[in-house]
Chains A and B, each alone.
Chain A
Amino acid sequence: MKLGGNMISIKDILKNIGIVAMTMCATLVSTLFINFSIDLKSISDLVTEEGKALYDAQLMTSKVVVGVTGGCLLLTTLVTLFFYIKIYIDNHKSELGILKALGYSNISISKKFSAFGLSVFVGTLLGYITALLMMNYYYDVQLSGGLLPIFKPSYHIELLIYLVIIPSVIFSIISVLYSYKKLKTPALDLIKGITKTKVKRVSIDDNKSFLEQVKITTFKEKKSLVFFIGFAVFCFADLIQMGFSMDKYASSLMKWMMYIIGIILSAVTMLLAMNTLIKNQKKNIGMMRVYGYQMKDCKKYILNSYKVTAYIGFILGTIYQYFLLKIMIEVVFKDIEVPAYTFNYKLFFITLCIFAVIYELLIEYYSKKLNKIPIKEIMLDSI
Chain B
Amino acid sequence: MIKVIDLHKSYGDKNNKVEVLRGIDLEIKDGDFTVILGPSGSGKSTLLNVISGLEKTDKGKVLYNDSDITKLNDKELTEFRKNNIGFIFQQYYLLQNLNVDKNVRMGADLISNKDYKDIIKAVGLENKLNKYPSELSGGEQQRVAIARALSKKSKVLFLDEPTGALDEETGRSILDYIVKLQKEEKFTIIMITHNENIAEMANTIVRINSGKVVDIKNNKNPKSAYEIGW
Decide if A and B are genuine partners: yes
Within 8 A of A (CB), among B65-117: 74-75, 78-83, 85, 87, 89, 91, 93, 95-98, 101-102, 105-110
A97 → B minimal CB distance (Å)? 19
User: Considering the chains assembled together, what is the distance between the CA atoms of A383 and B105 in angstroms?
Assistant: 22
A291 adjacent to B82 (CB under 8 Å) = yes
B96 adjacent to A199 (CB under 8 Å) = yes
> Which listed residue, B75, B81, B102, touches A291 by the CB 8 Å rule?
B81
Residues of chain A with a CB closer than 8 A to B108's CB = 210
Let me know if A217 is at the binding interface, CB within 8 A: yes
Which chain B residue lies CB-closest to A202? B97
Question: Are A210 and B49 CB-contacts (below 8 A) given A221-B97, A292-B82, A379-B93?
Answer: no
B112 → A minimal CB distance (Å)? 9
Let me know if A146 is at the binding interface, CB within 8 A: no
A292 adjacent to B132 (CB under 8 Å) = no
Question: Are A199 and B132 CB-contacts (below 8 A) given A206-B101, A209-B109, A210-B109?
Answer: yes
Let me know if B152 is at the binding interface, CB within 8 A: yes
Instruction: Pick from A110-118, A281-289, A309-317 the stretch touching chain B.
Output: A281-289
B110 adjacent to A291 (CB under 8 Å) = yes
A294 adjacent to B106 (CB under 8 Å) = no
User: Considering the chains assembled together, what is the distance between the CA atoms of A284 and B152 in angstroms?
Assistant: 18
Residues of chain B with a CB closer than 8 A to A218's CB = 97
Let me know if B197 is at the binding interface, CB within 8 A: no
A294 adjacent to B75 (CB under 8 Å) = yes
Within 8 A of A (CB), among B37-74: 49, 54-55, 74
Within 8 A of A (CB), among B103-145: 105-110, 132-135
Within 8 A of B (CB), among A188-211: 197, 199-202, 204, 206, 209-211
Let me know if A376 is at the binding interface, CB within 8 A: yes
Question: Are A290 and B54 CB-contacts (below 8 A) given A210-B102, A217-B97, A376-B49?
Answer: yes
B91 adjacent to A383 (CB under 8 Å) = yes
Number of A-B contacts defined by CB within 8 Å: 79
Which chain B residue lies CB-closest to A379? B93
A210 adjacent to B54 (CB under 8 Å) = no
User: Considering the chains assembled together, what is the distance between the CA atoms of A291 and B107 in angstroms?
Assistant: 7
Let me know if A371 is at the binding interface, CB within 8 A: yes
A293 adjacent to B110 (CB under 8 Å) = yes
User: Considering the chains assembled together, what is the distance between the CA atoms of A206 and B108 in angstroms?
Assistant: 13
A207 → B minimal CB distance (Å)? 11
User: Considering the chains assembled together, what is the distance between the CA atoms of A210 and B107 in angstroms?
Assistant: 9
- The bracket for how many chain B residues form the interface is 20 to 34
A283 → B minimal CB distance (Å)? 7
Residues of chain A with a CB closer than 8 A to B106's CB = 210, 287-288, 291
User: Considering the chains assembled together, what is the distance between the CA atoms of A144 and B101 in angstroms?
Assistant: 69
Let me know if A214 is at the binding interface, CB within 8 A: yes
Question: Are A293 and B78 CB-contacts (below 8 A) given A210-B105, A213-B102?
Answer: yes
Residues of chain A with a CB closer than 8 A to B105's CB = 209-210, 213
Let me know if A375 is at the binding interface, CB within 8 A: yes
Which chain A residue lies CB-closest to B86? A291
Residues of chain B with a CB closer than 8 A to A5's CB = none
Which chain B residue lies CB-closest to A375? B54
Residues of chain B with a CB closer than 8 A to A204's CB = 102
B87 adjacent to A292 (CB under 8 Å) = no
User: Considering the chains assembled together, what is the distance between the CA atoms of A214 and B134 in angstroms?
Assistant: 18
Let me know if A339 is at the binding interface, CB within 8 A: no
Residues of chain A with a CB closer than 8 A to B132's CB = 199, 201
Let me know if A103 is at the binding interface, CB within 8 A: no
User: Considering the chains assembled together, what is the distance between the CA atoms of A376 and B53 in angstroms?
Assistant: 11
User: Considering the chains assembled together, what is the distance between the CA atoms of A291 and B7 in angstroms?
Assistant: 23
B110 adjacent to A371 (CB under 8 Å) = no
User: Considering the chains assembled together, what is the distance between the CA atoms of A295 and B78 in angstroms?
Assistant: 9
> Which listed residue, A288, A292, A294, A374, touches B55 by the CB 8 Å rule?
A374
Residues of chain A with a CB closer than 8 A to B49's CB = 376
Which chain A residue lies CB-closest to B79? A292
A47 → B minimal CB distance (Å)? 61
Most buried by B among A214, A291, A383: A291
Residues of chain B with a CB closer than 8 A to A291's CB = 81-82, 87, 106-107, 110, 148, 152
B74 adjacent to A371 (CB under 8 Å) = yes
User: Considering the chains assembled together, what is the distance between the CA atoms of A49 and B6 in angstroms?
Assistant: 94
A289 adjacent to B78 (CB under 8 Å) = yes
Residues of chain A with a CB closer than 8 A to B85's CB = 292
Q: A371-B74, A376-B49 known; 10 other A-B pairs, CB under 8 Å?
A: A197-B134, A199-B96, A199-B134, A202-B97, A214-B95, A221-B97, A290-B54, A292-B79, A292-B85, A295-B78
> Can you give 27 contacting A-B residue pairs, CB < 8 Å?
A199-B96, A199-B132, A199-B133, A209-B109, A210-B105, A214-B95, A217-B98, A217-B102, A218-B97, A221-B97, A284-B95, A287-B93, A287-B106, A290-B54, A290-B93, A291-B81, A291-B107, A292-B79, A292-B80, A292-B110, A292-B152, A294-B78, A295-B78, A371-B74, A375-B54, A375-B55, A379-B89
- Listed from nearest, the 5 A-B pairs whose CB atoms lie closest are A292-B82, A210-B109, A210-B105, A292-B81, A199-B132
Chain A residues within 8 Å of B, Cβ to Cβ: 197, 199-202, 204, 206, 209-211, 213-214, 217-218, 221, 283-284, 287-295, 371, 374-376, 379, 383
